[in-house]
Amino acid sequence: MTKKRKSRGRSKGGKGSSDTVQCSNCGREIPRDKAKKMTTRVSLVEPMLARELRAAGAYIAAPKTIRYYCVSCAVHYGMVKVRAKDERRMSY
């Protein structure tokens, strides 16, 4: 069987099976090492108020949110691109 990608689409190496996560968009169960992980910071304060508070010397916490996406949702939303045939086996 030919290999389409060097990593076989996963990042687990040779460790056997890995746990699953749900896609944040469609709810599909996917292996954690195959899912595309997106980390964003969410501000709890409006930007104008945050600027004034920062000028006054206040610290504004922005908690991280972690979202996992399946490959089809990640391609649909442009988080990953479809690569050409000669570029597929390269890992970035």
In a domain, 61, yes or no: yes
Please give the tally of structural domains in the chain: 1
66 in Cβ contact with 37 (< 8 Å): yes
In a domain, 25, yes or no: yes
pTM, two decimals, is: 0.76
**Alpha-carbon Rg of the chain, whole angstroms?**
19
- pLDDT given at position 91: 67
pLDDT in single tens digits along all 92 residues of the chain: 888 888 888 888 888 999 999 999 999 999 999 999 999 999 899 999 999 999 999 999 999 999 999 999 999 999 999 888 888 877 66
* Residue ranges making up the domain that contains 39: 20-79
**Which CATH number covers residue 70?**
3.30.1740.20
In a domain, 5, yes or no: no
In a domain, 86, yes or no: no
- pLDDT given at position 79: 92
- pLDDT given at position 87: 84
CA 29/CA 24 separation, integer angstroms: 10
| H helix or E strand, kind and range, residue 16 | none
- pLDDT given at position 1: 80
20 in Cβ contact with 30 (< 8 Å): yes
In a domain, 84, yes or no: no
